[in-house]
Amino acid sequence: MRRLLSCLLVAACCAFGADTAVALPSPPDPREGRPVRLGIKLLEAPVDRRQDPRASSYIIDHLPPGAVIHRDIQVVNDNPHPLQVTLYPGAATIRGGTFTFTPVGKRNELAGWISLARTRLTLDPWQKAAVPATVRVPRTASAGERYAVIWAQHHSKPGPGGNIGMVTRAGVRVYLDIGPGGELPSSFRITRLTPARTQKGQPQLRVRIHNTGARAVDISGSLRLRNGPDGLTAGPFTNDRVLTLAPRHKGILTFTLGKSVPKGPWKAVVTLQSGMLKQTASGRIRFPDAGTGYPVLAVLTSTKSSPLLWITIALLAAAPLAYAVRRRLIRKR
């Protein structure tokens, strides 16, 4: 993404499941005439989340009020010249199915809880530097999930005869849920499949998803077309962009296909994933000649989730029973 005066290249928008967060390419440095390559990534994940691909890229945790956590962030200068880098936490939110970053300098409650051991770095060519980050949750913090970004930023000064500077940013997302006890479960549900055709004439499948859990989800996946005309199959196709949904929110994930794909009818099989959550659904569709076709209800064919999710659900379900038994024993005594 290139913009005069402020060009924000956000590493956290890299493909879902990436292990590193690197802003590539970025706007050219007016002094060097080549792209500025600035990278940032999370160096570690909590032990109980190491099987979660999202936790390898983002800071994701559930904490009680008053808790403190530490994470190491690595900043990378992937250039043949030195870089002056500024580090700072910034506000973020989820809006319209997108993890949205606020303008430079704007903070929210979570950003105010984050402190960095170093806020300025001078990196030699090809140098890497680890920066400890600390999150301190106030004891008075209210329950709920909050979002922020830890940014690494480089500002290129205008070149000779120019008056335009460039800003390159790369960031690590932070998803922090606050509340007593254990973490509430995450889940999502595929509810509807709608065939459509874009203005350019490309067939498109729009998948409606409901975040039925208590944590935000970053959803991506694949589409396969089966049992088409003359027994044709097609795919897999990848989604246009990652869909991020806040708890209890709904959104649309789109798959845009090539014009050569026949209208059908097809059996559409969609497999979607967010971290350790995975769900597959299908439906019989036919792409319209123009506009939007008839939506069909998605038929769930399989679902997988982390064992931790089921353990949490079981504990929550058993809590009232355990409480009642304990009260009865107390009365007998």
pLDDT digits (tens, 9 = 90+) for 236-252: 999 999 999 999 999 99
pLDDT of residue 332: 57
Confirm if 90 and 101 have CB atoms less than 8 A apart.
Answer: yes
Question: How far apart are alpha carbons 310 and 316 in whole angstroms?
Answer: 10
- Does one domain contain both 165 and 18? yes
**Dihedral sign computed on CA atoms, order 296, 301, 307, 312:** positive
- Per the structure, how many domains does the chain have? 2
The more confident residue out of 135 and 333 is 135
- Does one domain contain both 63 and 196? no
- Does one domain contain both 155 and 243? no
pLDDT digits (tens, 9 = 90+) for 173-200: 999 999 998 888 999 999 999 999 999 9
Residue (of 214, 227, 209) closest to 280 by Cα position: 209
- Does one domain contain both 295 and 169? no
Question: How far apart are alpha carbons 318 and 312 in whole angstroms?
Answer: 10
pLDDT of residue 326: 55
- Does one domain contain both 162 and 243? no
Q: Which of residues 124, 147, 178 is at a domain's end?
A: 178
Name the residue range of residue 280's domain: 188-307
* Lowest mean pLDDT across 70-74, 108-112, 153-157, 292-296: 153-157
Classify residue 1: in a domain, yes or no: no
Q: Which residues contact 178 (CB under 8 A, 6 or more apart)?
A: 62, 63, 64, 65, 137, 141, 142, 143, 144, 145, 146
Q: How confident is the model at residue 164 (pLDDT cuts 50, 70, 90)?
A: low
Question: How far apart are alpha carbons 66 and 107 in whole angstroms?
Answer: 20
- Does one domain contain both 284 and 213? yes
Q: Which of residues 124, 144, 178 is at a domain's end?
A: 178
Classify residue 34: in a domain, yes or no: yes
Classify residue 16: in a domain, yes or no: yes
Check whether 162 has a pLDDT greater than 90.
no
Q: How confident is the model at residue 165 (pLDDT cuts 50, 70, 90)?
A: low
Classify residue 183: in a domain, yes or no: no
- The CATH number that applies at residue 163 is 2.60.40.10
DSSP H/E element including 205? strand 203-211
Q: Which residues contact 221 (CB under 8 A, 6 or more apart)?
A: 238, 239, 253, 270, 271, 272, 273
Q: How confident is the model at residue 160 (pLDDT cuts 50, 70, 90)?
A: low
159 burial (CB, 10 Å; 0-12 / 13-18 / 19+) is middle
